[in-house]
Amino acid sequence: MPMKRPSKVSAVQALPNPIELVPLVEERDPEDGSKETQLEPITVRKPISRDVDEDFRSAALKFIACFVGLQVSYLTWGYMQELIMTTEFKPTESSPSGRFPSAAFCVFSNRFLAILVAMIAVKIRHGSLTSGAPLTAFTPCALSNTLSSWSQYASLKYVAFPVQTVFKSSKIIPVMLMGKLLKGTKYPFMQYIEAALITTGVAVFSVSSKSSDRDTDTELKGLLFLLCYITCDCFTSQWQDRVYQKYGKANVDPYQMMLGVNSSAICITMVGLFITGDIPVVYKFLQLNPDAFIYNIITAITSASGQLCIFYTIKEFGPIVFTIVMTTRQMISICISAAMFGHKINSFAILGACTVFGVLFFQIHRKYQARKRPSPK
**Cα distance between residue 363 and residue 58, in whole Å:** 28
List, for residues 253-277, the tens digit of each pLDDT value.
Answer: 888 888 999 999 999 999 999 999 9
- Closest Cα partner for 264 from 116, 124, 155, 115? 115
Name the percent of the chain lying above pLDDT 70: 80
Q: In whole angstroms, how large is the CA radius of gyration of the chain?
A: 28
Q: What is the pLDDT of residue 274?
A: 92
Residue 15 has pLDDT above 50, yes or no: no
Instruction: Report if pTM > 0.75.
Output: no
Residue 92 has pLDDT above 50, yes or no: yes
Backbone angles phi, psi at 326, to 5 degrees: -75, -35
pLDDT band at 359 (very low <50, low <70, confident <90, very high): confident
Residue 135 has pLDDT above 70, yes or no: yes
- Between 35 and 97, the higher pLDDT residue: 97
List, for residues 227-251, the tens digit of each pLDDT value.
Answer: 898 888 888 888 888 888 888 878 8
**Cα distance between residue 75 and residue 90, in whole Å:** 26
